[in-house]
Each structure stands twice: as C-alpha cells, then as structure tokens.
A and B are shown apart, each in its own frame.
Chain A
C-alpha cells in the first residue's frame, strides 16, 4: 500500500512537471517569460554596472534572456533603420534627439502606459519627453564642465574654454554626440546672453577649433584623453563624472554661470517587436525604485524618480536635486534633429582644414 502511494505521488509529480514544461508562460509566476529573448539597443558605457543593476536582475525575475546591441546613438539608429523590414530590436535606448529621429523613421512605437506602473513616480518632464508617448525618460544627464585644478585657474564660464592659456589642452564633444548641438547653444548663450543667435556660437567654435587637442566622440575617449593628461579642461556628460573623478588627477567640475544643458536618456519600444509586453516591462523596470537607486548609487545614471533620496556625497556627482534639475536647459529635440545635416556640414567645414 505504501509502495502504491509513493508511486502515485511520483506519477503525479511527473505529470505536473511535464505539464509545466509544455507551457512557457505558465512555468512559474516568478519567471513568466522563460525562454524568451529580449533584444535591447543601448550604450555600452558602464556595461558591467548596467548588467549588475539592470540586466541580470531582470533576467532572473522574468526568466528571459537579454541580448544587447551596443554602440553610440547614430550607429544604433542607423542599424534599426537599415533593418526596418526585419526588425530585431525590442527596446531602444537613445538620447532625446535620436529618439525623435527614430520616431520620424518609424522604428519605434508608443509605449503602453497601462504597463508602465512606475510612470507616476517619475518627474513630469520625463514621462513623454518627445511627445506621442514614443519614449519615456529613464535617466537624466547634463553636460558639465570639468578642469584640472592643478593646471588651470578657477573655471567659472563656458568662455574659459577659449582662454588662450589652455590652448592645446581642450576637448569638446563632436557635433554628432548627444551633447554636440547643446554645446553650440551654450557657447551662444555665453557670448550673447540667450540661445537665439547660434551663428555666434559657431563663430566661437571656429575660434576654439585650433586650440583643441581633438573633439571626442565617446565619453570613454574623453576618459582616455584625461588619464593621458592630454586634456585639462572639457565639457563632459554627467554620467562620466565617476570615471573622471576616479582618474586620480586633481579634477573639479563646475556649474558655469551661463548654466548647464540637460537631456533625458529615453527608452522606447521597438516598432517591430514581437515581445511588446516584455518590452514595456523592461522599460517599467528601468523606472523601478531599486534600479533607479542602484544606478544612482553607482553614479551611472541620475534618477528620474521623485522618491529617490541620495546621500549628499553621491548626489553632488549626479544630475540630481531640485535646484540643479530645475536650472537645466532642455533644448527642442525636433529642432536639433532638423538641424543635424546642416550642423554636421558646418562642423566638418571648420574641422576638416
């Protein structure tokens, strides 16, 4: 009798296991997407920390595998457009202007606000930064200004980049990067008081060009230039401050008198995704408390959630705090996208001499 009972229990357990294997969605409440693959287009900067804070925990929670395609904004957007007929990207992370272009190219689609349960917890500006719910800002960054305190006098203004004393030790972001156009706007403001007459900004860039070591295309390139002591003063993206500060050199960052430009890193659902629900879940995950907090504590991404409290020493190194966030200038992404071809041609005419 006892033997019969044991055999029945084993048979029942086996049937239960077999039944569970037959249905991916019902394997486990905790890992509802077992066997699914989510392809995310994102930057590769700080990838080890992104894996720790975002990718691995999401894979463990949802049971799926995340495949990342890394690169800068332009390369990844071009790939998505080239593969429009056979899309593979489920979630795309771009800077605001490139998200706008992605929307125009038809490679992203609106997110599902009913699935983004964390939407109410983030700042208003971040909920729909380019309109039509085509993306949500999951991280805030700003373009800062850093300098070597042992090589430069105190820096207080964007104009200090043109100080002849620093000739040959300056770098700036190229026009094709996230903050390339914003830098032109800040030069304009520094010399005219507002952002209207960008011709002045371009003239100042032309004056600055001979004094540059080079213009950098990636934050990692700037890190190399700083660590090689080629560059003593440069604009930098706020998410790169941790690496710059860790260089061991005497560096300081400053909020120039003219202010700082800001932008959101925007997460969007890929237009051809076959995993629409999972893609929205991933974007919601980026907005979750734990991810936002951990990314901030590791000084990778500044949070957009309004309920994140950070220690003062961490907060000082991020785009964080009402005073800073409210002072940031957010430029019109549609205008930046519209100007892109002309501004790149103008840039090349200055630098290809």
Chain B
C-alpha cells in the first residue's frame, strides 16, 4: 500500500498545519462571528447587522471598497496574465531574471512601497512633472489622496501575486498540447483562449481571488494613499475599533467583508469551463 495514502501518514503530515489553522484562524474567526451576533444584553440578535447595513456611511464605504477591488482585479488580469504567459515561454535564465523582477517588490515592506507612491504621485511627483513637461497637462493633477492613488498602489501590491500564481499554473500546460491544437487547424488566438486559458484556469481563479480579497481587505495602502478623505472598509473598521472602541460594529464589518469575499470567490468559480468539474 502506498504509505502516502494511509490515514496515519495523512494525519502526521497535515495535522500540525491543521491544528495551527484551527487555533489561530478558525477559532478566532468563530469568536468574531459569535461576537457580531451578541446584543447589548448578551442576547443573540441581528440588530448590530441591521444598524451597520442601514448606515449611509457604511453603504458608501462598502460600494467604494468593492468598486476599487473590481477595478484593480481585471486590470491585474489583463496586464498580469500575458506577462505570466510570456515568462512561462522563456528559457530558464531569462525566466529566472524576469521572475526575480516580479518578486522583487514583494521583498520590500508594503509600507515603504506605499510611501514611495507619495513621492511619485504627489503634486510635484514624477507623474505630474512628466505630464506637465510634455505639455499633456497645464497644471499638476490631484492624484494623491484619491481613489486613483489607491488603485495604483494596490495594483503594484497585488499584480506580482497574480503573475506568480498564474505562472505556476502555466508551467503545467504542456507546450505539445498547444502544438497539437495548432496542427489541428486552430490559430494562435484560438489556442490561447481555448486551450491555454482553460488549462490554467485554476491558477487564474486563485490569482483573481487573492487579488480581489487583498484589495477588498487592504489597510495600509488606502490609509496612506487615500487619507482621511477616502475611507475603505478596513480603515472604517479600524476607526470603529481603535478610535470609538465600538468592537461590535467592527466585528460586523469584518464578517460582512468575509461573506463578500466568499460570495465573490464562488461567483468567480462559476465561470470555470464546463468540462472542468
């Protein structure tokens, strides 16, 4: 019998990780969920959800956070997927160099990276200086402390993750499959959309999920690049918890964020090709 298939081996290998997740993820999550239903008199109630969901400010911030995530994610796919495909076709030396360049931003502190955007996007930053020098704009634009700044910051933060996730999935696509498709009469575009993308779909789903979830729950980038003007759910949750000490509303916001990402994840998976169960 294959020792890797025995229950004992499975428990030994997966057990420590599962226990870690149970103690430091599932149980705290369960606690947060239970707290969100606890009312003033320790009764179980939905009143806190009602209070948060009808609040106009929460609705506005929720829509904004969702909008930002839904803008960043497709841009990350449109730019990141072709990049990952190109990298997957390279020989090992060039592939290694480009992969390193993709990973390099991930080795820098997200706070440091985000602060760099302040210099780049500022009134006299690189972007405005270039545009005014080229006479594309007459006066510097307001980019910092807007949703645009947050979108750019999140793109830089999460696109490498999508590229890496899709790259590893594309590594499993045998190039002979593409040659076979070509020999059977398909053109390059057909091969790409009807063979490569479906075969790498699991990696793409994972990448999209990571990017969307990351954008939806990001704190540092919206806090620094959005400022007080542009609240997102994470910064709103922080304000409720750390400024107002309103832990009940903060837990409700946290649960709503989790539910939203789960709904989106399952929604994305609904788009997988039919022949992939």
Contact = CB atoms under 8 A, between A and B. Distances in A.
A38 to B, nearest CB: 24
A168 B229 CA distance: 13
Contact of B244 (A213, A228, A344): A344
Nearest to A168: B142
Interface residues of B, number: 24
Of A74, A168, A174, A229, which is in contact with the most chain B CB atoms at under 10 Å from its CB?
A: A74
B228 A341 contact: no
A229 B124 contact: yes
Interface residue tally of chain A, by bracket?
20 to 34
B123 A341 contact: no
Interface of B is mostly: loop
B231 A228 contact: no
Nearest to B55: A345
B239 A230 contact: no
A310 interface: no
A228 B57 contact: no
B57 A340 contact: no
B240 to A, nearest CB: 9
Contacts of A224: 118
Nearest to A175: B228
Contacts of B239: 176, 344, 348
A228 B227 contact: no
A180 B227 CA distance: 15
Given A214-B228, A229-B124, A345 B57 contact: yes
Contacts of A230: 122-123, 144
Given A228-B123, A352-B57, A352-B61, A78 B229 contact: no
Contacts of B241: 78
B227 A215 contact: yes
Interface in B88-127: 118-119, 122-125
Nearest to B227: A214
Interface string B122-136: 111100000000000
A340 B119 CA distance: 34
A215 B118 contact: no
A229 B125 CA distance: 10
A81 interface: yes
B56 interface: yes
B14 interface: no
B229 A349 contact: no
Interface string B220-249: 000000011101000000010111111000
A340 B246 CA distance: 12
Nearest to B226: A214
B21 interface: no
Contacts of A74: 242-243
Interface in B129-181: 142, 144-145
B231 A352 contact: yes
Contact of A176 (B144, B243, B245): B243
A78 B245 contact: yes
B145 A349 contact: no
B144 A217 contact: no
A75 interface: yes
Given A81-B245, A214-B145, A349 B57 contact: yes
Question: Sorted from nearest, which 9 A-B pairs have the closest CB atoms?
Answer: A214-B227, A215-B228, A214-B145, A74-B243, A78-B242, A228-B122, A174-B228, A176-B243, A348-B57
Given A228-B123, A229-B122, A348-B231, 10 more contacts: A74-B242, A78-B245, A168-B142, A174-B228, A217-B228, A224-B118, A228-B122, A229-B123, A230-B122, A351-B231
Interface of A: 74-75, 78, 81, 168, 174, 176, 212-217, 224, 228-230, 340-341, 344-345, 348-349, 351-353
8 contacts: A213-B142, A213-B144, A214-B144, A228-B123, A229-B122, A229-B123, A230-B122, A344-B243
